[in-house]
Structure 1
C-alpha cells in the first residue's frame, strides 16, 4: 500500500509538470504531449482504485502495463517528465523483474558491426546531485528524438550532458539505445554547419562528398547514433544539422530557447544546498564556515561554473569564505539574479575578471594569447612564441592559470577548463598585433618544417590543424594580409597531400583575399589555380573550370607563362573528366611545346597510343635539352604506360627501369614509387606473381612514407589485383578494402566505384554472392550519381553475372539488357551470359540464338583486331558453349601461340572452369581446359 501511495504522488507530480508544459503551448500543444497527459491521468485513476480496494494489484499490473511499455517503431511512446511512468513508478507498480523495457529496445536496435565512434565529452570532475535532471534527460534521450538543454552560460548544461553520456556509456562500448556510437561537436568558435556535418561524416570514416549535407544524410541513414551538439547558439544554421539526423538521437546544448525544436529541458541553477556541497568540495578547508558558504552560493545564484571557480580560487589562494564574502557583497545583487538571464550571463565575466585580478599580469597576457587559438589542447611552444618568452617562463605562467582553475593540463597539453573561459579570453582580453603576428609566424614555420618530413610531419600537423585554421581566420579577420598570405602558402601542400579538400578550399579563399588586398596578382592567380585544382579533386568540375579560367586570365595579363601553362594543363585535365576529350586537347595544344606531355596523357586516355607516344617523346626531347631530369623521368613513366597498353611489356619495362634510375638519382620518391608499382604491374601481366607482389609492396612503403595518399591507394589496388590473379582472394579483398577506404576519404568517387566492383568480383570468386551483389549495388549508386556510363555498364555486367549465379535470372537478364544499352562493346559477353541462363533453364533454342549472336559479334571484333587476346579467348569459349569444338580449338591455339600475358590465360581458364561448373559432363570443354592448363 505504501508503494502505491508513493507511486500516486509521483504520478501526480509528473502530471503537474506535463500540464505546465501544455500551458506553455497555449492551444497548440503537440499530440505526443497530450497523449502523455492522458496516459498519466489513466494511470492515476487506476492506482486510486487499487488503493481503495476497487481493483486488485494484479488487475492494476495488467491494466497499467500497456501504458508503461507502449512501443511504436522501436521507440518508447511515454516520455518521462521527471521519473515518469516508465521510471520509478514502473518499478513500484510492475516490478523491475517483470517488465524489461530496456531489453525490448536493445533487441530492436541490434545493428551490424561497423566503425563506431565514441566521442564522449570531458566529464565534470565533481558532478553534484542533479539526480532528477539526469534521470529526465536519460529518459528523454531516444533514437529519432531531439532533446535540448537550455540555460545561460555556466549553468551546467555541458556538465549535465557529459554526465548523461558517461552514464549511458561508462566503458568503451556504445550504449544499447545508440549502438552506432556517440558523436560530439562544439559550435563554439566554429559556427559553420558544414564543418559540423563534415565532422559527423569523418567520424564514421567516410568522406563529405558530394556535399557535407548530402554525405551526412547518407552516413546517418539507417544508423542509431547519439549526436551531442554543444554551444548550438553559435551555429549559423542548426536546423540543417538536425534535418539529417534521421533515426539518431540528438542532444543539443544552447543558451537560446529558440534552438529547442522538440523536447526542451531548462537547466536551472543548483539548489543552494547542492551548491554548498560543490563549493566545499572544491574549497576544502577555506569553506568550513557553512554560513559564509551559503551566503556566497546565494549571491552567485548557484551558478555551477561560478561555484567551481570560487571554490578553486579559495583553495589555491588560501583566502577564507568569510573574507571572500566581504568582497563579493560589494557587487549589486541584481547583477547576480539567477532568474534574470541577461544579468546572470554577466556574472561569469565579472567572476572571471576578479579571478584574473588574482593572477599576474603576465598570466593574463598568456590567457589572451590562448584566446587566439582554437578551443582545443595546445602545447607551451606556440604560447611562448606569441609572448616572445622562454619555454620555462611561459610554463610558469601556464601553471599559474592551471592553479586558479582557468586551464587544465594533461601531459604536455593545456586546455581552457571551460568554453566560457576561452570565450572570455577571446572576446574580453586585449591582444597586440605583434602577438598575433608572432603566433602566425610560429605556425607558418612549424608547418614548413614538418612538411619536409612528409607523412611523419603530416601526422604531427594533424594534431594542430584546428589551430592553424583558427590563426588563419584571425589573421584574415584582422586584415593582417601578409601573415594570411604566408600561412596560406605554408599549409596548402599539407592540406593537399592529406586530402583535406574542404579545409583547403577555405584556406585558399583566405589566401586569395589576402593577395587581392596586397595587390599581388601573381599570388592571386596561383591561389586561384590551386583552388581550381582542388575543385577538380572534389569532383566539382564546372566550378574548377570557372576558377581555372580566372587564374588563366590573371597569368596571361601579368605574363606569368609558367603558371599559365599549368592552368592550361589543368583545364585540359578538367575537360577530360567531363569526357570532352577534343576540348581538352585544345587546351593542351594552347600550352604549346610545354603541353606535349599533357597531350601525350590525353591521347593515352583516348586510346590513341601511337599519338600519345609521339607527343611524349617530343616532350622528353625538350626535357633533355633543358636538363630537366625530373620531367624526363616522368616522361619515361608515361612512355612505359603507353607500351603497356600496346602489350609491349619488355619495352615498357625498360622505360620504367629508366624512370626508376632517374628517380633515385635525383631523389624524387614519388616517381620511384610509381616506377616500382608499374614494374609490378608488368610482372603481374606476365604471370610473375611473386615479383609483382614484391614490387607493389616496395612501392606501397614509399607512398606511405611520403604521405602520397592517391598513389598509396592505387598501389594497394594493384597489390590486390596481383593477389587476385593467383587466387588469393582474402588478401586481395584486404587490399581492395584499404584502397576503397582511401578513395572514400579523399573523395575520388569514380575510383571508389571501380574498387567496389573489384570487391564484388572477389566475393563472387569466393562464392559469397550476396556480399558480392551488395558491393555492386553500391558501385551502381556511385556510377549514377556521377553519371559515368562506362562505370555503370561494367558494374551491371558484373552484377548480372552474379545474379545469374544467385539464380535470380529475371534480374540478371535486366542487368545484361541495360549493360548493352550503356556500352555496346559488352554485347557479345551479355549474349553469352544470356545463353548460359537459357541452357540452365532447358531452353536450347533461345540459348542457340544468343550464343550465335555472341560469336558473330566476337568475329567482328576479331576481324578488326586479330591481336586482341581477350576477344580471341572469348570467341573460343562461345564456340565451346554452342558445341562447336572444331571452331573453338583453333582459336584457343592461336591465342596461346601469340604469347599473351599469363594473367589473360588464367582469366580464360577461370571462365572455362565456371562453364564446367554448370555443365560438368561437357566433354569438349574438358578437352579445351586441358589445352589451356598445358599452356600454363
Structure 2
C-alpha cells in the first residue's frame, strides 16, 4: 500500500491484474477487517459514471483476486457476505498497518525522551515506503486514506529528524534537510529543523539565510508571514543559541480522568486520532470531534488516547464534562471557562465577570502553549466554540452524540465517527472484565452475548458487571435473560442511571415531537436498513421527513451510509420499538406498517415487471404510487438493495393476521427476480413464510404462487424432481381458484424441467399448451417466450429448420416489444441452433452478445448458461484458451449460485479442452466428475455428453474396448430420452471405437448412419466428423480412393466453418 499496491506470498509477487482490481484490493485493505459494501466499491472504482454491470464486474474482480491469492497460497484473505467484501488478515501483514504502529510506538519513545531507539524505529518504518500511498489509484475514501498515510509519513520524517537532532546528529542532518526543503518548499517545520541543525553546526549566517528564503517564499506565494515555530527558530538564530531540549514545567494542569485498565480494541480509531494530531510547525489550532451514539465509548476512547499523547502537551491537559444531554445539570459556558481559568493558574479573584473577558483571558493564557483540552459530552457546537484554543500547539478533543456540523464548517474540526466494537474486541473486553475462564467454558454463548449487546461498549460493560455480580450465573443463563428483554437486562440494578435505555433516552428527549414520532415509527421497518422513501411511507402524510431523518442522524440515533440508506443500531431499534408500544396506539402502528408494505409491494412489482417481463405475476398488484424506475437497470439496483428487506417484510407479514396476505403477494412480485438473480436461500425462506400464511388464510391463489416460486427455485438448483412436484402442487391449488396466468406459468416451467431431463417431446407439449393460453389472453410477450422454448425442443429433436424459424419469430416479437429477458433467451437459442448446424462463427457472435447482456443486466443464471454455450463454441473453433477461461468462469458462477447443471457442463467442456490438447488422463477425470454430477441431478444431456467424452478419451489412451462401452451407454441414454441432437455424435464415436477394435464393418455401419442423420438434420460439423471416420473405415478396408473422397468432403466443411479438425484431415490427405 505504501507505493504501488502489491501482494507477496513467501516473497513471490501475486498477479493482481489492472488498476480496477488493485483499487478493489486497496479499498479492502484500507478498511481491513471491516466490510465494504459493493455500492461503495462501485463508486470508488468508477468515480464518474459506473457501467450498469458495475456490481457484476466488482464480483468478477473479487473472484479473480481470490483465485490469484488462492493459487499463491493465501486462500482466505478476501471473503464476501451479505454486508459486502472484507479482508481477513489473520497471519498476513501489510505495510500501512506496520508503518502506523511503528510511528505510534516511536511517538511513545520520544515522549519519554528515548530519542535513540525512537529514531531507529522511525528509520525502519520509513524504509517501508516505495512511493506515494496507493500509487496510481485514488478516489473516495481511498484518496483520503492515501492523504492520511502520506501526511503520517511527513510527520514521521519530522519526528525522526527531531530525534536525530536530539541525538547530536546535526551535521549529518543538514544535507538531508536541505533536500527536504527543496522537495517540500512550503513545509515550515522542515525549514525550522534545518535552521536548528545549522545553528548546532555553527552556521548562524546559513540559518538566517534559510529563514529569509522561506519568509520571502511565503510572502510571495500567500502574502503571509512565517508561523510560530519558524519565528522561535529565527529568534534563536539572531542570538546564535541552539535550541535546548525542552523540559516540561512541573506546575501544569493534569486533569485527565484515570484511564480504563480494561480498555480494549479501537486500534483503527487510535491510529486515526494519531494521524489527526497537528504536524510540527502547524500554525492553526486543531479541533477533533469523536461522534457516536450514547454508550459507543466516546469518553473512554478520548481519555485513553489523551493519556497516550499527553507527553506531547507539556503545558497541561484539561478535561471538562459539559453534560450536554442532561436537562437538569448541564454546564454553562461561563462555568466551564471559570473552571479552565482556575486550572490554568488564575485565582478566583482574578476570574473576569463577563463572558467576553473570560474568553479573552482564556485565549491569552493558551497562546503559545501546548495544551490538550478534552471537552466531553457536548450537545452542540455553540456549547464549545468559545472554549476552542487559539494558536498552534493546542488540541481540543470533543465528544458528542451530535455530528457538530457547524464546528466542521466554521472551525475546521476533523470528525471521527465511532462504530461498535468488532466481535474480537468485544470478546477481549468481556474477557478482561469477566475473566477468560468464564467465557472459555461457554464460547458459543460468549459470542452470542457480545452479539446481543450489539457490540456496544456500554452494554458489554453492563453485561460483564451483571455476570460478575451474579456469582453463580452462567453465560448461557444470562443470554436467555437477554433474549427475553434486552434493555431491561442491560442495566445495573442499584444504579438506574447506568443503563443502556437511560443513555438512549437522553438523546430521545432532546428531539422535537415530529422527529420523536418518526423515530418510533421507523422501528416498524423490517430488515437491516431502509431508504428515505421507506421512511416517507412509514410517516404517511407527515411533512419534513427528510429534516427529521437528518436530525436523527445528527443525534447518532440513526446512521446513514454513503449510499443514502439508514440503519439503527440493534439496541437503539429495540429501544425505539419499546417506545412505539408505549406511546403509539396499535392502530397507528398498523397503518404505518401497511403503508410501508404497500410501498414495497408496488415498487417491487413495478421493478420486476420492467426488468423481468418474461415472468408474469400471477395476480395483478395495483400500483399505489408512480413507477419510480426509468429503466430496467434502475429497477434491478433497487431490487438488489431491498432484497433482504422485502424478505423480512414477507416473513413478518406472515405472522400477523391483519397483514398476512402481503406475504404471498411478495412471493408473486419477486418470482421474476429470483428467476434471474438467484439468491435461492432467500427465495426459499420467503416461500416458507408465505406458504404457511397462505394455508392459514385458505388463499388457494397465494398457495399456487408460492409453489410456483419454489418450483422455479428448485429448477435453478437443478433439483428437477422437486421442481416438478412443486409445479404440480401449484396447478392443483390453481384448480381450486382457476387463474389462466398461473396455469400458463406452471406449464411453461414444467416444459423447461422436462427439457433438462432430456424429454424434449414432453417439454414441447407443455410449451405448446402454455402458448395456447398466451395466445388466448393476448399476451404477445409470453407468446414469444413459448415460441422460443418450442424452438429449443425442436433443436433437441434434431429439427434445426423448425428451431431456427421459432427463435427468429421470437426475436421478431421481442424486438417490437423492446423486451430484454425473452429476447436474450431467443438469442441464446438461435446461437445453439447455429452451433448445431455448424455455423460456429455466427454461434460465437450470438453467445458473446448474450454474455455481454447478462453482465450488463446482472443476470447470474443466464450468464452461467451463456458462458457454457460460448465455451463449447470456442472449443469447436479450436480456441482452447478462450474455451477454458469461459468454462472456468461458468463453473465458478454455477458453484456460487447453486446451479449444478451449468457446473456439470463446464466440467465437461474443460475436460474436452484437455483431451484435444492431448492431456487424456486429466480429461478422463474431468469427464468422470461431470458424469457423476449430471447423473446425480438427472441432467440427461450432460450425462450423454460426458459419456461421449469418456469414450473419446479412453480411445485416445489406447483402450478402445472401454471406450466402446461408454459410447454405447451414451446412445442408450439418448434413445431413452429422444435426444437426437447428440445421437449423431454418439454414433460417430462408437464407429471410431469399432474401427480401433478392428471391426471395420460395424464401424462403417455406424458412421454411415451418423452421416445420413447429419445430412438430413443439417448438422454440418457432425457431418464432417462422420465423413472423417468413414474415410478411415474405407482406408482400413483398402479403398484409399473412397477414403480420400470422404476426407476432401470433410475438409471442405471443416475449412468453411473454421474447425481445427481441418489440419488433421489435411495431414491424412498428404
- What is the TM-score normalised by the length of structure 2? 0.48
Per-residue CA deviation, residues 247-304 of structure 1 (Å, 9 max, x unaligned), is: xxxxxxxxxxxxxxxxxxxxxx95378887525479999x9558999xx9xxxxxxxx
Per-residue CA deviation, residues 104-162 of structure 1 (Å, 9 max, x unaligned), is: x976999999999998998899xxxxxxxxxxxxxxxxxxxxxxxxxxxxxxxxxxxxx
> Match of 1:884?
1036
> Match of 1:345?
490
> Match of 1:278?
301
> Match of 2:594?
437
In 1, distance between residues paired with 2:776 and 2:321?
91
Distance 1:109 1:466, change over 3 A: farther
| Among 464, 467, 480, the residue aligned to 2:642 | 464
In 2, distance between residues paired with 1:442 and 1:339?
48
Per-residue CA deviation, residues 603-644 of structure 1 (Å, 9 max, x unaligned), is: xxxxxxxxxxxxxxxx77x98788664465456545655665
In 1, distance between residues paired with 2:1024 and 2:71?
58
Q: What pairs up with 1:359-378 in 2 under 5 angstroms?
A: 359-373=511-525, 376-378=528-530
After TM superposition, give the deviation of residue 538 of structure 1 in Å: 2.8
After TM superposition, give the deviation of residue 424 of structure 1 in Å: 3.4
> Match of 2:564?
413
| Among 742, 746, 757, the residue aligned to 1:563 | 742
After TM superposition, give the deviation of residue 441 of structure 1 in Å: 2.3
> Match of 1:611?
none
State the SS of the aligned residue for 1:180.
Answer: coil
Equivalent residues of 1:780, 1:795 under 8 A apart: yes
In 2, distance between residues paired with 1:409 and 1:281?
27
Per-residue CA deviation, residues 450-506 of structure 1 (Å, 9 max, x unaligned), is: 332334421232122222222223323333224434444333332333122232222
After TM superposition, give the deviation of residue 753 of structure 1 in Å: 0.8
Q: What pairs up with 1:43-54 in 2 under 5 angstroms?
A: none
Equivalent residues of 1:402, 1:408 under 8 A apart: yes
Equivalent residues of 2:832, 2:843 under 8 A apart: yes
> Match of 2:710?
531
| Among 964, 989, 998, the residue aligned to 1:849 | 998
> Match of 2:620?
none
In 2, distance between residues paired with 1:681 and 1:124?
45
Per-residue CA deviation, residues 405-458 of structure 1 (Å, 9 max, x unaligned), is: 333334353555743333433456436122222222222233234332334421
In 1, distance between residues paired with 2:748 and 2:998?
49
> Match of 2:673?
494
After superposing the two structures, state which structure 1 stretch, 892-901 or 567-576, moved more. Answer: 892-901
State the SS of the aligned residue for 2:524.
Answer: coil
2:535 is equivalent to residue 383 of structure 1 = yes
In 1, distance between residues paired with 2:756 and 2:595?
43
> Match of 1:447?
604
Q: What pairs up with 1:259-658 in 2 under 5 angstroms?
A: 271=261, 277-278=300-301, 280=303, 339-340=468-469, 345-346=490-491, 347-373=499-525, 376-388=528-540, 393-413=544-564, 415-416=566-567, 418-426=569-577, 429-430=580-581, 432-451=589-608, 452=610, 453-479=631-657, 480-560=659-739, 563-564=742-743, 566-567=745-746, 570-571=749-750, 574=753, 597=768, 629-630=780-781, 633-634=784-785, 637=788, 653-658=804-809
Equivalent residues of 2:1032, 2:1043 under 8 A apart: no
Equivalent residues of 2:748, 2:767 under 8 A apart: no
Per-residue CA deviation, residues 657-678 of structure 1 (Å, 9 max, x unaligned), is: 4433233234444443344444
Per-residue CA deviation, residues 742-787 of structure 1 (Å, 9 max, x unaligned), is: 4444433123211221123234445566875664454244224325
| Among 181, 206, 209, the residue aligned to 2:77 | 181
Structure 2 gap ranges (5+): 1-7, 35-64, 94-258, 265-296, 311-316, 327-374, 388-396, 401-461, 471-477, 479-487, 492-498, 611-630, 973-982
Q: What pairs up with 1:144-155 in 2 under 5 angstroms?
A: none
After superposing the two structures, state which structure 1 stretch, 428-437 or 634-643, moved more. Answer: 634-643
In 2, distance between residues paired with 1:573 and 1:175?
38
> Match of 2:904?
753
In 2, distance between residues paired with 1:579 and 1:689?
24
Equivalent residues of 2:994, 2:1000 under 8 A apart: yes
In 2, distance between residues paired with 1:638 and 1:899?
34
In 2, distance between residues paired with 1:744 and 1:335?
43
In 2, distance between residues paired with 1:536 and 1:375?
27
After TM superposition, give the deviation of residue 597 of structure 1 in Å: 0.8
Distance 1:625 1:462, change over 3 A: closer
In 1, distance between residues paired with 2:1052 and 2:794?
15
> Match of 1:46?
none
Equivalent residues of 2:734, 2:742 under 8 A apart: yes
In 2, distance between residues paired with 1:676 and 1:570?
19
Per-residue CA deviation, residues 43-101 of structure 1 (Å, 9 max, x unaligned), is: xxxxxxxxxxxxxxxxxxxxxxxxxxxxxxxxxxxxxxxxxxxxxxxxxxxxxxxxxxx
> Match of 1:729?
880
Distance 1:708 1:180, change over 3 A: closer
Distance 1:378 1:580, change over 3 A: same
In 2, distance between residues paired with 1:876 and 1:334?
79
State the SS of the aligned residue for 2:556.
Answer: coil
Distance 1:487 1:655, change over 3 A: closer
Per-residue CA deviation, residues 353-382 of structure 1 (Å, 9 max, x unaligned), is: 344333344444333344334564543332
> Match of 2:946?
795
Equivalent residues of 2:1010, 2:1026 under 8 A apart: no
Structure 1 gap ranges (5+): 1-104, 126-168, 186-198, 205-219, 227-268, 297-309, 325-332, 590-594, 600-618, 837-846, 914-924, 931-936
Distance 1:641 1:521, change over 3 A: closer
In 1, distance between residues paired with 2:728 and 2:791?
32
In 2, distance between residues paired with 1:729 and 1:124?
39
State the SS of the aligned residue for 1:442.
Answer: helix
Equivalent residues of 2:767, 2:786 under 8 A apart: no
Equivalent residues of 1:693, 1:722 under 8 A apart: yes
Distance 1:527 1:802, change over 3 A: same
In 2, distance between residues paired with 1:175 and 1:884?
48
Distance 1:500 1:695, change over 3 A: same
State the SS of the aligned residue for 2:468.
Answer: coil
State the SS of the aligned residue for 2:559.
Answer: strand
> Match of 1:841?
none
State the SS of the aligned residue for 2:945.
Answer: helix
In 1, distance between residues paired with 2:824 and 2:693?
37
In 1, distance between residues paired with 2:883 and 2:71?
35
Distance 1:630 1:470, change over 3 A: closer
After TM superposition, give the deviation of residue 553 of structure 1 in Å: 2.7
Equivalent residues of 1:455, 1:704 under 8 A apart: no
